[in-house]
């Protein structure tokens, strides 16, 4: 009797033609933001082709496991782990031989993204430059455009295009001024410039950067990174022959910030200018930086050309919210930049 019962069960498993079908909102590869609700609808039919009750169906993520039961799954994106999920609609029973439908969904968590930068030159409470960032999240890449307006020299409008990697690091910048810049900035009419012409060329160690003003000059900068991804040197070719005309070397501290920048302005192996950064940290964050720029005067003598001090403020999430500059280290601020973020 026991043996017969087992045979029947085995037979059912092999002959099962039951299957689930996900019908609504089941676009493969769809990106769901953390603040959206995942909305999936599906049904299951049994051996006889009859629809089974939703209570016999279960939604399963390959990352988070069982998500819920029923014909309809409504779940906040924030309840799912960030990443690529395969979500399958299964039968609670005899699912080993059932044909289970599944969809691929990517859950992307919102991140604070720079929305606005306000620069107050003179630190007198009036904004002199406003930069607004707009971001468009597409296939895993955040791109943004910033518009800046110089106030009161409001003749100038500059457009910048920034492309970010998913980790938020700036990868690629392109920009041009659409309106001739006059006043303080004596640029030529129709002036335009861009960083990174053509395709972005990025690998883990070298970042090529080009700067060009049509009809005037073109610079190509090669950014050389060390094995830890920290900027080691920049080779600048200003003559267009792919041979560096200037090299800047960086010495970094244990937190990856530059503490010494040395420039060999004629590539003869002798350093001609040096910038020292004296960084102060609190809770792992840079809060104060003193910058001293000096130039070679004689064999081993460097004379101070200028020095200034910067103060950094952060929000509770560690995003930089304000930078204050004392340009002449006389204990009076000379410029303040405010940063505003939005979750996107």
Q: Summarize as ranges the residues that interact with Ca ion (CB under 5 A).
A: 120, 122, 124, 126, 128, 237, 239, 241, 243, 245, 264, 266, 268, 270, 272, 326, 328, 330, 332, 334
* Beta-carbon contacts of residue 35 (< 8 Å; ≥ 6 apart): 77, 78, 110, 343
**Cβ 212 to Ca ion shortest distance, Å:** 15
**Residue whose CB is less far from Ca ion, 197 or 270:** 270
Q: Is the separation of the CB atoms in 140 and 166 below 8 Å?
A: yes
Minimum distance from CB of 147 to Ca ion (Å)? 19
Considering beta carbons, is residue 91 or 312 the nearer one to Ca ion? Answer: 312
Length of the chain: 344
Q: How far is the CB of 327 from Ca ion (least distance, A)?
A: 5
Residue 48 tokens, joined: 């006889």
In the complex, least distance from residue 78 CB atom to Ca ion, rounded to whole angstroms: 40
Smaller CB separation from Ca ion, 173 or 333: 333
Asked if 252 contacts 233 with a C-beta cutoff of 8 angstroms, the reply is no
At which residue do the structure tokens 């007198």 appear? 124
CA distances from 203 to 27, 173, 229, 258 (A): 33, 16, 10, 21
Nearer to Ca ion, 41 or 272 (CB): 272
Which is nearer to Ca ion, 46 or 120 (by Cβ)? 120
Q: Tell me how far apart the alpha carbons of residues 157 and 147 are, in angstroms, rounded to a whole number.
A: 7
Task: Report how far residue 290's alpha carbon sits from residue 296's, in angstroms, rounded to the nearest whole number.
Answer: 20
Tell me the closest approach of the beta carbon of residue 303 to Ca ion, in angstroms.
16
SS3 8: helix
| Nearest distance in Å: CB 267, Ca ion | 7
The residue among 233, 244, 254, 306 whose CA lies nearest residue 275 is 306
CB of 239 to Ca ion, least distance (A): 4
CA 227/CA 31 separation, integer angstroms: 33
**Nearest residue (CB) to Ca ion, 124 versus 253:** 124
What are the backbone dihedrals phi and psi of residue 199, each rounded to the nearest 5 degrees, phi first?
A: -85, 145
Which CB sits closer to Ca ion, 122 or 229?
Answer: 122
Tell the smallest beta-carbon distance from residue 334 to Ca ion (Å). Answer: 4
Is there a contact between 149 and 140 (Cβ–Cβ < 8 Å)?
no
Conformational region of residue 16, where left means phi above 0, alpha means psi within -120 to 50, and beta covers everything else: beta
Query: What is the number of the residue whose Cβ is closest to Ca ion?
Result: 239
Nearer to Ca ion, 101 or 237 (CB): 237
Nearer to Ca ion, 124 or 305 (CB): 124
Token pair for 219: 């610079």
Interacting residues of 137 by C-beta distance below 8 A, sequence separation 6+: 31, 108, 344
Give strand ranges (E) for 47-152: 57-61, 65-69, 72-76, 83-91, 102-108, 112-121, 129-137, 142-150
Q: Coil, helix or strand for 47?
A: coil
CB of 177 to Ca ion, least distance (A): 22
């Amino acid at each position: 009797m026991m043996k017969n019962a087992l045979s029947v069960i085995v037979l059912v498993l092999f002959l099962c033609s039951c299957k689930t079908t996900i019908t609504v909102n089941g676009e493969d590869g769809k990106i769901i933001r953390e603040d959206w609700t995942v909305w999936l609808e599906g049904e299951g039919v049994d051996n006889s082709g009859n629809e089974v009750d939703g209570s016999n169906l279960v939604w399963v993520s390959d990352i988070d496991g069982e998500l819920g039961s029923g014909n309809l799954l409504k779940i906040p994106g924030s309840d799912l782990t960030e990443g690529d999920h395969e979500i399958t609609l299964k039968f609670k029973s005899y699912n080993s031989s059932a044909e289970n439908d599944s969809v691929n969904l990517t859950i992307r968590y919102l991140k604070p993204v720079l929305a606005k930068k306000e620069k107050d030159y003179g630190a007198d409470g009036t904004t002199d430059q406003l930069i607004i960032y707009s971001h468009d999240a597409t296939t895993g890449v955040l791109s943004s455009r910033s518009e800046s307006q110089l106030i009161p020299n409001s003749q100038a409008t500059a457009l910048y295009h920034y492309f970010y990697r998913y980790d938020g690091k700036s990868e690629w910048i392109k920009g041009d001024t659409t309106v001739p810049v006059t006043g303080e900035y004596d640029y030529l009419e129709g002036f335009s410039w861009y960083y990174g012409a053509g395709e972005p060329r990025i690998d883990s160690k070298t970042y090529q950067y080009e700067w060009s003003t049509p009809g005037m000059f073109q610079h190509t900068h090669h950014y050389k990174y060390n094995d830890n991804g920290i900027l080691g040197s920049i080779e600048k070719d200003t003559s267009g022959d792919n041979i560096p005309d200037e090299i800047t070397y960086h010495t970094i501290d244990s937190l990856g910030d530059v503490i010494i920048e040395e420039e060999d302005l004629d590539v003869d192996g002798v350093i001609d200018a040096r910038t020292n950064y004296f960084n102060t940290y609190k809770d792992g964050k840079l809060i104060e930086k003193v910058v001293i720029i000096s130039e070679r005067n004689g064999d081993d003598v460097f004379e101070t050309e200028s020095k200034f001090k910067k103060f950094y403020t952060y929000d509770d999430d560690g995003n930089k919210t304000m930078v204050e500059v004392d340009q002449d280290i006389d204990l009076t601020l000379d410029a303040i930049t405010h940063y505003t973020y939005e979750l996107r």
